[in-house]
Structure 1
Amino acid sequence: MGSILSAVYLAYDALSSLYTSYSRLTSCLALSPGIPVSNPTLSFWTVPPSRISKENSGACHSDDLEGTRLLAGFNTSDEGSHDPDNAPKLPSYADVVIIGSGITGTSVARALLMSGKPLRILMLDARDACDGATGRNGGHITPPTYLEWSQLKARVGLETACQVVRFRLQHIEDLLEVAREEDALRKASSSTEEDATMNDSLKLLTNSPIFLLNSPNLLTNSPSLLTNSQCRRTDSYDVFFDEGLFKASCAKLEEYLADNDDLEEKVKARYRVVGKEECVESLHLEPKVAGAIRIPGGAMFPYRFVTGILERLLDDYADSFSLFTHTPCTAICQLSSGTGYVVDTPNGRIRTSHVVHATNAHASHLLECLRERIVPLRATMSQQELWVGGGEPGAEGGHGGKPPATPEWFGTRAFTLYPSASTVQFDYLTQQLAGDGASATSKLDSDQATSASVAISKATASTAPTIRKSLTAYPPPRGELMLGGGFLHHTAALDGNGVLDNADLGCADDSGVDIGTAAYVSGALGAYFRKSSGIKDRVNVEVWTGIIGISADFMPWVGRVPAELAERSTSELPTASESETATKNTLVDSDNKAPNARALLAPSGEWVAAGFSGEGMVHAWICARALARMILQEETDDNLKEATDDPAKLLPDDLPEPFLFTQERWKKASLDGMMAALAE
């Protein structure tokens, strides 16, 4: 979560030492992570929920689903729902099925839908939309660069190491640009709506509690994604409390900058060594601090960023894109014809040409070949509302009011804090912006948003999309501090045999919180920052957990899953007739000349983008976009004119080669290989 493993090599070494034997470690990591649990801890990021949080939910009552079924945009059939009274009906076919609705799945869906090709895309999620790691992380966009530079350079070579670092840095600008693009697209789409349709939509909401807010312009003045997501650049700092580690880190920075002399000047300028005195006076850190290093970084409200994009995609591509929440994929088998797959869910089966695994730590549940290649790790996050400069909290209750004296730096800084001589132990902190109470995002509270969702479900198919485009509203930020970490500070415990164990390594269950870790993160801020800094009383602390996926070779896994490794059983489910397949596979244009969708894509297959090692915010978006380009088979070589499934030929220009999923890499990236690399 966030920058949870910026020194991931050393982290693995420390993790292995927590176990009494190598065999015990391998036994733990070889287990399936399973399907995400149905009762996760409540993440601060997800409250209040997006209006599409339970889109087409198999867990909803039928009355609540009346409208969302109409909004799905698919021609449904009786096939695909084992309980038609209480579950929406799945389409029988989709060109691409995406498993997972976090930042990875959303990036894939966006790229596919915006390609202009006539595709039908179905997204599945076992829980609410974006309730996995993306909706539970730290909100960091902090690219690991100099601290692991020497190891990275030794493993992949100087040229490729530079490419990897630039790939990570690019996420800061790309995510900002995506937010701006989304706002422009939404504005352009909204401007084409007919007034009569809007008026009909408004009538449906006349009696809704939403209008008790006395905000007649709410539907036409919804906030932007850039505002809602708080996507922004930050002054990010690696803070060291051990003198030796600080000096060693400064030396690593010097080597990194020397090797990357061709970095843009504006990027290089973001790096700066910060001395002890400045740390204490300007950053308000405890006097025991040794020093800090400023680095490029950013921050955002990840849940609102992702769900905001999904909202627009569902609105603008209602005839070709559908999201089904609380609908886990339970099995995948290959059609005996070899031309596609059958995806099983509790609500029915879907035939598809392509399956995208965008489930990160849970990817190895359906892809057994990734066991021991992507390892789940439970991480802990907290939200802490602190009051600044005196004043009395609670002007509007436990979460209410604006801090009486808001420093100008609120929301502009992020920290990775190293309290010991090891980079394995660290915590990470971001801060939300300080809202002024006048933002348009303050117009709806959670109950009112729910009432609006009910109004949507009662709308007709012709008017509902207009309403959906206009109902995005959230409370304003209050400068909340988002602190994560505690890993290896208090995760060790004795099992029944008195053997040292770790509750988080190999754990894919985010329904609970380690008490010791929760206590640590709840009290750590006071040890890092000066008592006179103005941070006074902790009003509210919320703690939750999320599951991250650690890659055995420290690189994301992106690309086509080799069929030999997927090892799918075959299904004898009969395929449709050629004419029926053509109808279901394509959106026919006005001239009835649209080509078959399968001819527009790479050969049928399974695809994955996962194993971001806690650094999803600086890997996932572009990795997923590159994956979509592989599926679309966009040419990256002028000489590539024929369909191919050769991984090397499908490698997009902006994806580092070490990220590509190949059999050769798979063989090398075993747990044995990982331990051998650490021993070097």
Structure 2
Amino acid sequence: MDERAAIPVTLPRANPTISYWQDPPDPQLADYLSSASLPETADVVIIGSGITGSSVAWNLLQNSNHGKIIMLEARQACSGATGRNGKWETGGHTKAASYRSFLSNASSLSTSEAVKIARLEYTNIRAVHQFAKEHGIQCDSWQGDTVDIIYDQAQWDEAHTAIAAMRATMPGEEDLKTVSRYRFWSKEEAREHWRVRGEDFVGAVSYEAGSLSAYKFVVGLLKICLPLGLELYTNTPATSISKSEDGEGWRIETGKGTVKAKKVVLATNGYTAHLWKGFQGSIVPLRGQITAHRPGGNIPKEGLKGTYSFIYQNGYEYMIPRPLGSKHAGDIIIGGGLVKAAEEGLYEFGTTDDTTKNEGISKYLAETTPRYFGSTWGEDHPDGRIRKEWTGIMGYSSDGFPFVGEIPGQKQLWVAASFQGHGMVLCWKSAEALFGMMGGGSGKDGALKEWFPDVFKVSEERMKKRFEGRLHTKVNAMEVESKAE
């Protein structure tokens, strides 16, 4: 893994595989340029136009003294992980799965910090769907239940321990129905309700989640931000950043000229180390792969009853059915399969090449739906099972948490990146927190400490930790430990 983490991070590649979510790209925004030439100065430059960058822009624009805000995007608008893929996202899977990390967070951090992370995830989910509703963003927003079909006895046992611990330490969450929504299903119940087949799964656990088109959401958000003053420059990669000669602010070099800015925000996720080498080895790119399956003949016309994950000993797949009323309603979007590649996916780490696919993962993912659903899948669609397949680049940190805040020793150089493929339940609130750290919103008067996890904040110590592999993919086998505050 050391060799993979040491591969120099590049800019996003030209001509990536075509994402299901960006087919076709938005005709108004995909190649948007706010002016024919790039401005020479700005108050804030945001690099990256995904959900993080657009959320930071939205928060800044709520401040009457926001100044001139420029957003740079290397490719088309929202063409990174948000518009392509992610671990629990699948391009918009608003699924927290907080119980999967609760025990390890409580043990390695503290119970209160574990609770804070779980609350943030659920708050984030609801905030994103609520924002789309309030602002009329048509993004196929759906809220309901998700289910984890668990194939490993140790993880099934740990799920019971973790959810019991959450219920004991988060009694106040009953009103929000975060913890009370958890439900365990026996094998027989899961076969009946969730339509899964096969005898090798142990049981299932369902809980609150949702889905939306993250690409449509961000495009809609950017269209709100542009009339408020945001300037967007797509196909304008930032090639380097450096301190200004006078020591005040930053110089951002692009292929279209240089911009001098008072503040810079790196919303660059897996690509962050290309612009700031201090993150080389502590934010590692990981290529994810996803397929869109046309529904089998026995899948109900009204669709399945929720979203899914399939969790086995050292890996998982994640799945969302496209909701009624959406384009290609009923399609099954399923991704993952990393550990089915050579050396459990080792060579997917460190790469920023989303122009190609891993054929071993392709073959595995193509077979997932009839394997998991058996007779309830039925005959494949006459046009073929696979409608589309694509890849995208995520960012993973050495400790499994995002980096949010000012880079140590670099005044007014800010970052919100490395969301472990978990961005749809972390980015929105992380952007709000970053805005607070920059001097606005809920960061004032120490309010940020009340709800934003300390472990997400950037520190020299965290930046020096080297990446060893993804966390929370195997059973933790540990008890919750209450630590002294």
Same topology, TM > 0.5: yes
Counterpart for residue 134 of structure 2: 181
**Does the aligned pair in 2 maintain the 1:559–1:660 contact within 8 Å?**
yes
Does residue 660 (structure 1) correspond to residue 457 (structure 2)? The answer is yes
Does residue 276 (structure 1) correspond to residue 276 (structure 2)? The answer is no
Identify which of 309, 319, 323 aligns with 1:416: 309
Identify which of 121, 128, 151 aligns with 1:241: 151
The structural deviation recorded for 1:671 is: 4.0
The structural deviation recorded for 1:48 is: 1.8
Counterpart for residue 196 of structure 1: none
Does residue 109 (structure 1) correspond to residue 57 (structure 2)? The answer is yes
CA offsets 1:90-117 (integer angstroms, 9 cap, x no match): 0111110000000000000011112222
Counterparts of 2:470 and 2:133, CA distance in 1? 40
CA offsets 1:640-669 (integer angstroms, 9 cap, x no match): xxxxxxxxx6956432111111224434x3
The structural deviation recorded for 1:532 is: 3.3
Q: CA separation of 1:432/1:532 partners in 2, compared to 1, >3 Å: closer, same or farther?
A: closer
CA offsets 1:594-643 (integer angstroms, 9 cap, x no match): xxxxxxxxxx51100011111111111110121122224457454xxxxx
- Following superposition of structure 1 onto structure 2, how do residues 40-51 of structure 1 map, counting pairs within 5 Å? 40-51=16-27
Counterparts of 1:369 and 1:267, CA distance in 2? 37
Counterpart for residue 574 of structure 1: none
Q: Which AA in structure 1 matches 2:463? A: W
Does residue 483 (structure 1) correspond to residue 393 (structure 2)? The answer is no
- Following superposition of structure 1 onto structure 2, how do residues 512-661 of structure 1 map, counting pairs within 5 Å? 512-533=356-377, 536-537=380-381, 538-563=384-409, 605-634=412-441, 636=443, 638=445, 651=448, 653-661=450-458
Counterpart for residue 133 of structure 1: 81
Counterparts of 1:180 and 1:311, CA distance in 2? 15
Q: Which AA in structure 2 matches 1:483? A: I
Counterpart for residue 670 of structure 1: 466
Q: CA separation of 1:232/1:372 partners in 2, compared to 1, >3 Å: closer, same or farther?
A: same
Counterparts of 1:258 and 1:519, CA distance in 2? 43
Aligned residues: 465
Q: Which AA in structure 2 matches 1:43? A: S
Does residue 307 (structure 1) correspond to residue 219 (structure 2)? The answer is yes
The structural deviation recorded for 1:388 is: 3.7
Counterpart for residue 178 of structure 2: 267
What's the RMSD between the two structures over aligned residues? 2.5
Name structure 1 gaps, 5 residues minimum. 1-24, 57-67, 75-87, 184-224, 391-404, 436-474, 494-500, 567-603, 639-648
Larger Rg: 1
Which secondary structure state, in structure 2, belongs to the residue aligned with residue 135 of structure 1? coil
Counterpart for residue 333 of structure 1: 242
**Does the aligned pair in 1 maintain the 2:252–2:259 contact within 8 Å?**
yes
The structural deviation recorded for 1:492 is: 3.1
From the two aligned structures, give the one with the greater strand fraction: 2
The structural deviation recorded for 1:247 is: 3.2
Q: CA separation of 1:241/1:673 partners in 2, compared to 1, >3 Å: closer, same or farther?
A: closer
Does residue 124 (structure 1) correspond to residue 72 (structure 2)? The answer is yes
The structural deviation recorded for 1:278 is: 1.2
Identify which of 141, 148, 159 aligns with 2:101: 148
Identify which of 182, 193, 210 aligns with 1:298: 210
Counterparts of 1:662 and 1:51, CA distance in 2? 41
Does residue 505 (structure 1) correspond to residue 349 (structure 2)? The answer is yes
Which secondary structure state, in structure 1, belongs to the residue aligned with residue 429 of structure 2? helix
Does residue 229 (structure 1) correspond to residue 26 (structure 2)? The answer is no
The structural deviation recorded for 1:234 is: 2.4
Counterpart for residue 255 of structure 2: 346
Q: CA separation of 1:427/1:130 partners in 2, compared to 1, >3 Å: closer, same or farther?
A: same
Counterparts of 1:673 and 1:430, CA distance in 2? 26
Q: CA separation of 1:503/1:671 partners in 2, compared to 1, >3 Å: closer, same or farther?
A: closer
Counterpart for residue 40 of structure 2: 92
User: Bigger CA drift: 529-538 or 321-330?
Assistant: 529-538
Does residue 355 (structure 1) correspond to residue 264 (structure 2)? The answer is yes
Counterpart for residue 597 of structure 1: none
Counterparts of 1:269 and 1:650, CA distance in 2? 27
Q: Which AA in structure 1 matches 2:306? A: R
Which secondary structure state, in structure 1, belongs to the residue aligned with residue 82 of structure 2? helix
The structural deviation recorded for 1:33 is: 1.5
CA offsets 1:305-331 (integer angstroms, 9 cap, x no match): 0011111222x22xx321111100011
Counterpart for residue 322 of structure 2: 432
Q: CA separation of 1:605/1:43 partners in 2, compared to 1, >3 Å: closer, same or farther?
A: same
CA offsets 1:59-102 (integer angstroms, 9 cap, x no match): xxxxxxxxx5xxx2x6xxxxxxxxxxxxx310111110000000
Counterparts of 1:295 and 1:672, CA distance in 2? 30
Counterparts of 2:360 and 2:72, CA distance in 1? 35
Counterparts of 2:422 and 2:265, CA distance in 1? 20
The structural deviation recorded for 1:118 is: 4.4
Q: CA separation of 1:293/1:673 partners in 2, compared to 1, >3 Å: closer, same or farther?
A: closer
TM-score by length of 2: 0.90
The structural deviation recorded for 1:256 is: 2.8
The structural deviation recorded for 1:150 is: 1.5
Q: Which AA in structure 2 matches 1:335? A: S
